[in-house]
Amino acid sequence: MKSKEAQPAIGKKKSGFQYTLKQYWKYRGLFMIMIPSVIMLIIFKYVPIYGIQIAFKNFRLKAGIWGSPWVGLDVFRKVFGMPIFWQAFQNTLILGVMNLVIGFPMPVILALLLNEIRHERYKKTLQTISYLPHFVSWITLSGLFITLLSPSTGPVAALYRLVGAQPYYFMGEVSTFRWVLVVTNVWKSIGWGSIVYLAALSGVDQEMYEAALIDGASRFQRIWYITLPSIAPTVTIMLILRAGSIVSDNFDQVFNMSNAAVYKVANVLGVYTYEIGLKNMKYSESTAISLFLNVISFAMVMLTNTVSKKVNDYGIW
């Protein structure tokens, strides 16, 4: 009996494999569409991993990546031995935490607000306006913000004067510069970041709202008890992905907006790596820094994933 029972199991397994193959063949068209993305991923994300080895080498242009001599952890020792590196690391970390804590919830809030708008056209217009800054480069925006925030001629200063306050030099003060970076970053990315949540919101079952309405739930209660729990998995996954960015800074933004007065807070690792790596051709050093950051990033993602799974059962893995 037993062997008889085992037979169909093997047969089932075989047919399962065949079934999978058949499915692959059946959807070959869709797989073909996927190929360019896979190739792109391999070329731009996997092949460059080969170059990470120069973090452990004294990279010589003529010898190339493979031919350069190994130096163990010498490059890391050198980088970690520089006080300026730790200053830049600290600046990056502070900026990263600020961006995460303030920047992460903003698109969720915007999506929730947009979701409550009943007038379709008004909603679409608002959405479009909120996306627009995403398409403007930082080099353009930095000039714009310098003008907007100018304590003498900027409109922000004019508002200050209107209420009888002394205008503030936001771009030139160490105490405010980080906030300028965070706020402008939120302004630029909030609309674009809300797309994912709006998509998640569109999938929420409308019948739940109707039932809640009959039960007499207020608008706020509907958001709190229906909308938020419904998009919680999406928010969690976005948070896990975002956690890695705690050690990444927005090079384009910081580089273009910084000035001599705020150097001590604006010297972030992105700018530092650019200056030693690209301008001074110290490729081993800049690779070592990037690798170091990637390791932290990866650890952060893993940690957030684990915590999230423990707390609310959602996670990527």
Partner 1 sequence: MKKVLALVLVLALALSATSAFAVKSPYVEKDYSQLPKYHYLWTQYFVTPTAEDAYTIKLIEDTFNVDIEVPNIEDGNFLEVLNTYIIADNTPDVIRLKDPSQFNTYVDQEAIGSFDMELVKEYFPIYYNGMMDYQDGLFLSYGSVDGVQYGLPTLSTGNLFHLPVVYNETWMKKVGVEKTPETLDELHDLLYKFTYEDPDGDGVQNTYGISSDGMRNVFGAFGVNPGAADGRTDHSAFQYLDDDHDGTEEFVYAATSQRYKEALKVLKAWYDEGLIDPEFITGENSGGYWAISHSFVNHRIGSTVRANYYHWVSKGDYQYIDENGEWADVDSGAVATEFYNANPDEHIIFGDPVVGPYGDSGVKSWNLLAQIYCFSPELTADTDRFIRALEIMNFCARNSTGDPEIIEQYLKDFYGEEGGWWYWKNKETGSWGTTQAYSEEFPDFEAINRYGRTEYGPSAPREGTDEGSAFARSLGYKEHGINTLLQFSLPMMAEYQTNLTNLKDNWMVQFITGQKDIDGDWDAYLKEMDASGLGLMFNEAKDYFDSTQ
Give the three-class secondary structure for 315. coil
**Interface with partner 1, residue 260, by CB under 8 A:** yes
Give Cβ neighbours of residue 212 (< 8 Å, ≥ 6 apart): 221, 222, 225, 226
**Interface with partner 1, residue 60, by CB under 8 A:** yes
For 175-190, letters b (16+ CB in 10 Å) and e give ebbbebbbbbbbebbb
**Interface with partner 1, residue 267, by CB under 8 A:** yes
Closest by alpha carbon to 262, among 99, 141, 146?
A: 146
Provide the minimum distance between the beta carbon of 82 and partner 1 in the complex, in angstroms, as a whole number: 9
Total number of residues that touch partner 1 (CB under 8 A): 32
Candidates 32-40, 238-246, 260-268, 292-300; binding stretch for partner 1 (CB under 8 A): 260-268
**Interface with partner 1, residue 175, by CB under 8 A:** no
| Closest to partner 1 by CB, 240 or 262 | 262
**Interface with partner 1, residue 286, by CB under 8 A:** no
| Closest to partner 1 by CB, 59 or 197 | 59
Q: Which of 52, 53, 65, 251 binds partner 1 (CB under 8 A)?
A: 65
Provide the minimum distance between the beta carbon of 169 and partner 1 in the complex, in angstroms, as a whole number: 7
Helix ranges, the chain (H): 2-26, 28-41, 64-67, 74-80, 83-103, 105-116, 120-131, 138-148, 155-162, 174-202, 206-214, 219-222, 228-243, 251-257, 263-266, 269-273, 283-312
Q: Cβ of 273: how many Cβ atoms within 10 Å?
A: 22
Q: Which of 21, 33, 84, 101 binds partner 1 (CB under 8 A)?
A: 84
> What is the rounded distance in angstroms from the CA atom of residue 175 to the CA atom of residue 168?
11
| Closest to partner 1 by CB, 159 or 281 | 281
**Interface with partner 1, residue 278, by CB under 8 A:** yes
**Interface with partner 1, residue 181, by CB under 8 A:** no
Q: Cβ of 145: how many Cβ atoms within 10 Å?
A: 23
Q: Which of 99, 130, 142, 273 binds partner 1 (CB under 8 A)?
A: 142
Q: Which of 147, 175, 221, 312 binds partner 1 (CB under 8 A)?
A: 147
**Interface with partner 1, residue 287, by CB under 8 A:** no
- Which residue is associated with the tokens 């996670």? 315
> What is the rounded distance in angstroms from the CA atom of residue 154 to the CA atom of residue 145?
9
Give Cβ neighbours of residue 60 (< 8 Å, ≥ 6 apart): 67, 68, 69
- Rounded to a whole number of angstroms, the distance between the first and last alpha carbons of the chain is 40
Q: Which of 10, 49, 61, 214 binds partner 1 (CB under 8 A)?
A: 61
**Interface with partner 1, residue 133, by CB under 8 A:** no
Provide the minimum distance between the beta carbon of 260 and partner 1 in the complex, in angstroms, as a whole number: 4
> What is the rounded distance in angstroms from the CA atom of residue 309 to the CA atom of residue 317?
9
The residues binding partner 1 (CB under 8 A) are 60-62, 64-65, 83-84, 139-140, 142-143, 146-147, 150-153, 169, 171-172, 259-261, 263-264, 267, 275-276, 278-281
